[in-house]
């Protein structure tokens, strides 16, 4: 079996041999874009290189980039534990051309790596292209020998990438792997594409245009390439699995979670162990990059992830902090590729343990309140917004934690009731501040929170950057 660690190395070495600089992963906290919550794609650290604001001593690069998609534009948090192919933290493998090579080479590189180096059967692969991108369709035929029915033309914005309202943009081509007949899910672009038969593994972006502030679109004199391949999805294929969570790395974390709880990884709590394994990675990597759990901004997203994992552990019977005890398993899997985990092991451990200690007492009381309330309600009634708000305000339950707890029971929260309760409390808080004669800073904070909404208030203006890959 090819390990995930070996696949990562093979990918980087392949592009290294094709003249790409192997660049280490950048931080999960974007260094060049304060409006972006987390690095959510491999291209993020190179944004200014693509726009020409920054130059590098190389025109081809390859990376294994740490990525978090929880909160903001790409939010895969609610998928975790329930789909076979979404994580909150994952590694995006990529190759980049900064005005160097373009479509023919990008397609050739991807195809050669997949079918020659990694030996994937050609008849398992499909490619989507943007409907107007005849060039790409022709190249897939010529280079890969794909027949027409394996080239799927998609005309929606899904297959057209933009960095933002202005700036570089261009068509995409997504490479899919077909896991086989027996499983639910239609081909890409079809209404039921979200099954697990066809899995998107690699997204190629052809940056060939420049959107101007006046709304016009120019052709770039030297077009660029940005690609992103999900390492976990690809490892699943290479390891003969349908499910990312059955790959070596994820499986080791799931088993660590099951061990610490003295349970069967595939028993009644199967999806909880998956959630814990996923959230362990986002938690540890975010702390290693300097994010700490807090009440707002990045820290609040981290807190939501941590508390959600902790609720699952509690539900499985944990009576004392256990989440931090899983860290050594993660370090064993990923510490060699990401030495920051080892370097910051003490801080990560301490932070995880401290957060769990603080939250455990509240969690127990909050869950009791929640189950009492549910007992009083009719079978199909949504949890009233003021109860969800009390859980949030008094017991530190982020709304999505409550929703996650209810989801297992097929129940929901009255979200607008929750927002109303939140708005009322804000009004009271504001009135109190006015009375206190305090200064501008708080007013600014309240204004920002009003504008951006309470539960999703992340402390950032917006995610204007459309970093699809
Ligand atoms: P999907 O349509 O499956 O949600 P995407 O189009 O949002 O994927 P891209 O933004 O194109 O994904 O990211 C590039 C690659 O990263 C994808 O082709 C996929 O292999 C991988 N990927 C995207 N989201 C996730 C995730 N949440 N967990 C694991 N891998 C992911
Ligand atoms: Mg997605
Ligand atoms: Mg997609
Ligand atoms: Mg994509």
- Tens digit of each residue's pLDDT (9 = 90 or more) over 236-269: 999 999 999 999 999 999 999 999 999 999 999 9
Distance CA 63, CA 454 (A): 36
Angle between helices 297-315 and 270-288 (to 10 degrees): 150
If you ran DSSP here, which 8-state letter would residue 384 be given? P
- The minimum-distance atom of ligand 1 relative to the CA of 69 is 27
Say how many Å lie between the CA of residue 159 and the centre of ligand 4.
8
- Distance from C-alpha of 412 to C-alpha of 425, rounded to nearest angstrom: 22
CB 403, CB 75: distance < 8 Å:
no
Give mean pLDDT, residues 166-177: 95
Q: Do strands 89-97 and 167-178 pair parallel, antiparallel, or not at all (unpaired)?
A: unpaired
Do residues 124 and 99 make contact, with C-beta atoms less than 8 angstroms apart? Answer: no
Q: What angle do CA 65, 247, 329 make, to 5 degrees?
A: 75
End-to-end CA distance of the chain: 28
Q: What is the whole-number distance in angstroms between the Cα of residue 40 and the centre of ligand 4?
A: 12
pLDDT at site 468: 36
Q: Using CA atoms of 130, 135, 140, 142 in order, give the dihedral in degrees to the nearest 10.
A: 160
Instruction: Name the residue at shortest CA distance from atom 7 of ligand 1.
Output: 468
pLDDT, one tens digit per residue, over 318-331 is 989 999 999 999 99
Q: Residue 458: pLDDT above 60? A: no
Two structure tokens written together for 101 = 């090579």
Strands (E), 212-307: 217-230
Classify 137 as helix, strand or coil: helix
Q: On the CB side of 459, how many CA atoms lie within 13 Å of its CA?
A: 11
Separation of 342 CA from ligand 1 center, angstroms?
Answer: 27
Within 10 A of 309 (CB to CB), how many other CB atoms are there?
25
pLDDT computed for residue 454 by the predictor: 41
**Among the bound ligands, the one closest to the CA of 67:** 1
Ligand 1 atom 1 nearest Cα:
200
Query: Around ion ligand 4, which residues have CB less than 5 A away?
Result: 203
CA distances from 287 to 224, 283, 303 (A): 33, 6, 11
Digit-coded pLDDT (tens) for 132-156: 999 999 999 999 999 999 999 999 8
**How far is the centre of ligand 3, averaged over its atoms, from the C-alpha of 469 (Å)?**
10
Q: Give residue ranges with CB within 6 A of ligand 1.
A: 41, 69, 76, 85-87, 90, 92, 200-203, 228-230, 232-233, 468-469
The DSSP call for residue 96 is E
Compute the distance between CA of residue 300 and CA of residue 308 in angstroms, rounded to an integer: 12
CA separation for the pair 356, 338 (Å, rounded): 25
Q: Which residue has the tokens 């033309």?
A: 153
CA of 90 to the centre of ligand 1 (A): 9
What is the pLDDT averaged over residues 54-77? 91
Asked whether the predicted pLDDT for residue 441 surpasses 60, the reply is no
DSSP at 177? E
How many Å is the Cα radius of gyration of the chain?
23
- Residue closest by Cα to atom 30 of ligand 1: 230
ipTM > 0.90 (yes/no): yes
Beta bridge partners of 160: 171
Of all helices (H) and strands (E), which one includes residue 270? helix 270-288
- Cβ atoms of 317 and 261 closer than 8 Å: yes
Closest residue CA from atom 13 of ligand 1:
469
Please state, as a whole number, how many other Cβ atoms lie within 10 Å of the Cβ of residue 232: 23
Greater confidence (73 vs 206) lies with 206
Read off the pLDDT band of 450 (50, 70, 90): low
Distance from residue 114's CA to the centre of ligand 3 (Å): 19
At residue 345, φ and ψ (nearest 5 deg) are: -55, -45
What pLDDT was estimated at residue 437? 52
Backbone region of residue 290 per phi and psi (left: phi > 0; alpha: psi in -120 to 50; beta: other values): left
Closest CA to 417 of 465, 459, 443, 454: 454
DSSP symbols for 142-153: HHH---GGGEEE
Alpha helices in 18-133 (DSSP H): 47-51, 103-112
Let me know how long the chain is: 469
For the segment 97-117, the average pLDDT, to the nearest whole number, is 98
Alpha-carbon distance of 128 to 150, in angstroms, equals 8
Model confidence over 33-52: pLDDT tens digits?
A: 888 999 999 999 999 999 99
Residue 383 DSSP symbol: B
Is a pLDDT exceeding 70 seen at residue 467?
A: no
Instruction: Report helix, strand or coil for 221.
Output: strand
pLDDT tens digit string along 356-404? 999 998 999 999 999 999 999 988 899 999 999 999 999 999 999 999 8
pLDDT tens profile 289-342:
999 999 989 999 999 999 999 999 999 999 899 999 999 999 999 999 999 999
- Give pLDDT, residue 469: 39
Of ligand 1's listed atoms, the one at least distance from the Cα of 74 is 7
Q: CA-CA distance, 126 to 147, in Å (whole number)?
A: 9
């Amino acid at each position: 079996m090819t390990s995930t660690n070996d696949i990562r190395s093979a990918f980087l070495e392949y592009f290294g041999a094709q003249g790409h600089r192997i660049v280490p992963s950048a931080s999960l906290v974007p260094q060049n874009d304060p409006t972006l919550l987390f690095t959510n794609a491999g291209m993020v650290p190179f944004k200014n290189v693509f726009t020409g604001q920054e130059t590098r001593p190389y025109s081809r690069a390859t990376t294994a980039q740490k990525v978090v998609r929880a909160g903001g534009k790409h939010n895969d948090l609610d998928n975790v534990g329930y789909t076979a192919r979404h994580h909150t933290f994952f590694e995006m493998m990529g190759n980049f051309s900064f005005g160097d090579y373009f479509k023919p080479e990008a397609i050739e590189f991807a195809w050669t790596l997949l079918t020659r180096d990694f030996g994937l059967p050609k008849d398992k692969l499909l490619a989507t292209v943007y409907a107007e991108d005849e060039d790409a369709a022709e190249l897939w035929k010529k280079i890969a020998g794909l027949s027409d029915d394996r080239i799927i033309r998609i005309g929606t914005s899904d297959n057209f990438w933009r960095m933002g309202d202005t700036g570089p943009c261009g068509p995409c081509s997504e490479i899919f792997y077909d896991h086989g007949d027996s499983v639910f899910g239609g081909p890409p672009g079809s209404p039921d594409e979200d099954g697990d038969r066809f899995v998107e593994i690699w997204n190629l972006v052809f940056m060939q245009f420049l959107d101007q502030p006046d709304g016009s679109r120019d052709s770039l004199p030297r077009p660029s390439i940005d690609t992103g391949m999900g390492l976990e999805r690809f490892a699943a294929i290479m390891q003969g699995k349908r499910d990312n969570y059955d790959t070596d790395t994820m499986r080791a974390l799931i088993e660590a979670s099951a061990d610490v709880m003295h349970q069967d990884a595939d028993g009644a709590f199967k999806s909880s162990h998956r959630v814990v394994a996923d959230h362990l990675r986002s938690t540890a990597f975010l702390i290693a990059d300097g994010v700490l759990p807090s009440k707002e901004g990045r820290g609040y997203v981290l807190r939501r992830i941590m508390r959600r994992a902790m609720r699952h552990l509690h539900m499985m019977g944990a009576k004392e902090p256990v989440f931090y005890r899983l860290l050594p398993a993660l370090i064993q899997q990923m510490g060699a590729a990401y030495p920051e985990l080892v370097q910051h092991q003490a801080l990560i451990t301490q932070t995880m343990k401290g957060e769990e200690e603080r939250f455990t007492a509240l969690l127990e009381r909050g869950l009791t309140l929640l189950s009492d309330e549910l007992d009083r309600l009719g079978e199909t009634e949504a949890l009233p917004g003021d109860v969800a708000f009390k859980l949030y305000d008094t017991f530190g339950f982020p709304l999505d934690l409550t929703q996650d707890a209810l989801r297992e029971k097929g129940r929901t929260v009255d979200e607008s009731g929750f927002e109303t309760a939140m708005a009322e409390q804000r009004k009271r808080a504001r009135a109190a501040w006015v009375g206190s004669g305090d200064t501008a800073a708080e007013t600014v904070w309240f204004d920002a929170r009003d504008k951006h909404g309470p539960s999703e208030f992340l402390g950032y203006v917006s995610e204007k950057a459309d970093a699809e890959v």
